[in-house]
Amino acid sequence: MPLQRENNMPDGDALYAEIIDAHTGLSMEDSAALNARLVLLLVNHIGDRAIVQEALAAARASLSGRT
């Protein structure tokens, strides 16, 4: 199964707000640490190396296009 690139979130705005709220009151350093932990938790849940690799590539590609 390839990486899901179409919308897969029933209420994306709510989920997005929950992520942002989780960072409330944290320094940038702590926020980055939170993100690392979150990524690891979700990667374990996905448990599919090919999908994670595809996501990593997409994220890297988006980052390299940054002006």
Partner 1 sequence: MPDVRDIAFEWKRSQDQGRAEPAHHPVVIVGAGPVGLVAALDLAAKGHRAVIIERKGNLSDGSRAICWAKRTLEIMDRLGIGQLLIDKGVTWKNGKVFFDTKQVFAFDLLPESGHRMPAFVNLQQYYFEHFCVEAAAKTGLIDIRWREEAQGIEPTADGVLLTVGTPEGSYRLLADWAIAADGARSKVRQLMDLPFEGRIFEDQFLICDIRMRLDRPAERWFWFDPPFNRGRSALLHKQADACWRLDFQVGREADRDEEVKPENAARRVRGMLGENLDFTFDWISLYRFQSRRLKQFRHGRVLFAGDAAHQMSPFGARGGNSGVQDADNLAWKLDLVLRGIAPEKLLDSFHEERAAAADENLLHTTRSTDFIAPKNEMSRTFRDGALALAESEPFARRLINSGRLSTPTCYDTSSLNGPDEFRPGEAAAVRPGAAALDAPLENGWLLHQTGGGFTGLWLSPQRSMPSEVAASTAALAEARTPVSFVEETEHATRVRYGAEHGPAFYLLRPDQHIAARWRSFSMAAVQQAVARATAANTARQ
* Least Cβ distance, residue 48 to partner 1 (angstroms): 17
**x/- site string to partner 1, residues 5 to 44, per CB under 8 A?**
xxxxx--xx--xx-xx--xx-x-x--xx--x---------
Q: How many other C-beta atoms are found inside a 10 Å radius of the C-beta of residue 56?
A: 13
Q: How many residues bind partner 1 (CB under 8 A)?
A: 27
CA-CA-CA-CA torsion for 27, 19, 41, 58, nearest 10 degrees? Answer: -100
Told to check if 53 binds partner 1 by CB under 8 A, we report no
User: Would you count residue 67 as binding partner 1 (CB under 8 A)?
Assistant: yes
